[in-house]
A = this chain, B = another copy of it.
Amino acid sequence: MYDQQASQPDYKEIDWAKIDLDNLHPADVADKLEELSLEEQKKFILAQPVEFSAQCIAEMEQSQQIELISVLPPELAADILEEMSPDDATDILAALPLDVRQSILSKIEKEDAVKIKDLLKFDPDTAGGVMNTEILVLDRNLTVDQAIQLIRSNAGEIEIPYYAYIVDEHRHLQGVLSLRDLFLGPASKTLQELLAEQEQHLIFVTYDQDKEEVAKLLSRYDLLAIPVVDHDMRLLGIVTADDVIDIIQEEASEDMQTMVGAGPDETLHTPWTYSVQKRLPWLVVNVFNSVISASVVHKFEGTIAQMAVLAVLMPIVANQAGNTGQQALAVMIRQLALEPFDSKKFWRAVGREAKIALVNGLIIALLVFCGVYFWTHNLKLSLVMGIALVLDMVLGAVAGASIPLILRSLGRDPAQASTIFLTTLTDSGGFFTFLGLASLFLLK
């Protein structure tokens, strides 16, 4: 145990006015802590009971958790991590530098350390990496009465108390019973008999399934927890609805942010230098992509020199197609996040987007045709503009619907930088059709 008295902090240096612990939930304390400097955070934690420290740190953002745990004395860090649920402790340890991790792990009580080392083996993006192992596991041969006795005697230790997982002697998952099923069941029946009476759709995942897949299943079947098994159906743990909420929020941020080439996990609290690192490569890609569309314009420099009004109108075509494509892209990325997708669905989606873009394109083209004719009194120019708009908008929609699926089939994140690729296509396509038609029909 870490001796808290030995390093009592100097209370005067902490701005206690900033923190009022009365009636504050640990999640709220965590918020207030995040506003403090690392030094102040450390002093605060040193002055708190270990259990409360663990609750607060568990609620902080990961980048801040890591920094804070790293500056605490390893003995205290070990005590704090022991108080957390093993999956939370594992997430923090996995993100620590190897030497810090080792020095803390060596000070964690053996039983907890074994659990954590087991969890550290799982890929953090899989069911195994997010699962909770503190669950209520009952042998199928127990009677209801025996099961209730067992629960009473282990009451304090189980974090999630509303489902009991029924296994055979080799820990193969047989079914799930709610606490209500148990407490209301006939005392002398075995759990296996109780299970047999229920019509169960046993939904489970294997430890190596992607965590986003787990989130989809739990959400699809409106569950509060989903069991995780190995390939022999042996029960390993569960993923709960509150974990799934975090996974879904992460995924939503990831999709929206990677779509435009920002970092998947950027928040207001991540260091700005991290954001520079994450975004710069995609901005560079964007420069090279812009060069492609600029080179299309370059091909028509002669046309533009003769008719500078083309330079005025050409961004409108590219812009409309870009917007149309982004609408298709956004709907598609969300569909991929929510539903399974096969090639039949893919073609239906592309067809749907093309149809929408065609109708919207015709209406927008008519509007723009009238506007350009009213402004220039040049019928041919107005026609060229309208035709280029329709063509480029349909191109944008087809590209917007296809890019995420193409990226996915290449084994990439379907959202990654998708607007950047899309804009290259709609810009080049728009400039090419508009300037190409213009040089064919408008110049002498």
Contact = CB atoms under 8 A, between A and B. Distances in A.
Interface string A91-135: 000000000000000000000000000000000000000000000
Contact of A272 (B244, B293, B327, B355): B355
B268 A27 contact: no
A280 B334 contact: no
B286 A323 contact: yes
Q: Which of A223, A272, A334 has the most CB of B within 10 A?
A: A334
Given A162-B162, A304-B304, A152 B315 contact: no
Contacts of A335: 267-268
Contacts of A19: none
Contacts of A316: 287, 290-291, 294
A128 B315 CA distance: 47
Contacts of A331: 257, 262, 266-268, 275
Contacts of A161: 162, 178-180
A423 to B, nearest CB: 7
Contacts of A315: 290, 293-294, 297, 315, 318, 427, 431
Given A155-B184, A304-B304, A337-B252, A352 B320 contact: no
A420 B313 CA distance: 17
Q: Which of A25, A314, A331, A427 has the most CB of B within 10 A?
A: A331
Interface string A345-379: 10011001001100110011001100100000000
Nearest to A363: B280
Contacts of A291: 316, 371
A256 interface: yes
Interface in A269-325: 272, 275-276, 279-280, 282-284, 286-287, 290-291, 293-295, 297-298, 301-302, 304-305, 308-316, 318-320, 322-324
A302 to B, nearest CB: 8
A253 B336 CA distance: 11
B246 A245 contact: no
Contacts of A302: 308
B337 A257 contact: no
Nearest to A251: B252
A203 to B, nearest CB: 7
Interface stretch (A167-175, A214-222, A227-235): A214-222
A72 interface: no
A161 B163 CA distance: 10
Nearest to A243: B222
Interface string A61-90: 000000000000000000000000000000
Q: Which of A25, A333, A356 has the most CB of B within 10 A?
A: A356
A241 interface: yes
**What are the 3 A-B residue pairs with the smallest beta carbon separation, nearest first?**
A252-B252, A162-B162, A241-B241
Given A162-B178, A241-B242, 7 more contacts: A25-B201, A219-B249, A248-B249, A268-B335, A283-B360, A310-B311, A311-B314
